[in-house]
Amino acid sequence: MATLARRSKVLTLRQALLADSIVSGVVGGLSLVGAGWLASLLDLPTALLAGSGTIAIAYAAVLAMLTRRMAVPSAAGSAVVGGNLAWAAGGVLLLVSGWVESNGLGTGFILVHIVGALIFAELQLMALHTER
């Protein structure tokens, strides 16, 4: 009974992927369309924002396709978790490398990306373990 109760509180892998897809698509679209405006606001390169927006939109499309499968393969779920961890690591590298000189808002923007990717990785990992 405790296992059943615990499972009901965890998102399914499909739900976690769908949520990640929606957030990534929206953020990616805003980053791509508003790259110039965001660049001036955040003191980040326009090309970085447009490029990351393009990647996020492509990633969102892949996740959306995965959610339409009858069963999401655990290998695909694990790959998505790895992708989120890589995105977070890339954000940390961007902050500590000195490759960009953003203002406080820009740093906060990158930190939100890092935290968001880590949250989705955790949700997806919990769903993978629950569905095994």
Number of compact structural domains in the chain: 1
Domain encompassing residue 88:
2-131
- The predicted pLDDT at position 8 comes to 52
- Exposed e or buried b per residue across 33-64, where buried means at least 16 C-beta atoms within 10 angstroms of its C-beta: eebeebbeebbbbeebbbebbeebbebbebbb
Q: What is the mean pLDDT of residues 110-126?
A: 97
- The predicted pLDDT at position 100 comes to 94
Quote the pTM value: 0.89
